[in-house]
Amino acid sequence: MQRVKALETENLIRAMGRDCQHQAETAYGKLQKVIECLRDDNHLAALGSFLGLDEEILYISVVLKRLSRLSASTLTHTSTQKPSSEPAGRPEGSES
Indicate left, alpha or beta for 90 from its phi (over 0: left) and psi (-120 to 50: alpha). beta
Q: Are 38 and 49 in contact (CB under 8 A)?
A: no
Residue 66 carries which DSSP code? H
What is the pLDDT, as a whole number, of residue 6?
77
Q: What pLDDT was estimated at residue 87?
A: 45
pTM, two decimals, is 0.69
d(CA 53, CA 30): 7
Residue-level pLDDT at 19: 95
- Could you tell me the mean pLDDT of each successive run of 10 residues in the chain, 96 residues long? 80 94 96 97 96 95 94 70 48 45
Give the phi and the psi of residue 92 in degrees, each rounded to 5.
-60, 140
Residue 82: the pLDDT is: 53
pLDDT of residue 9: 86
In the chain, where are the structural domains located?
Answer: 2-78
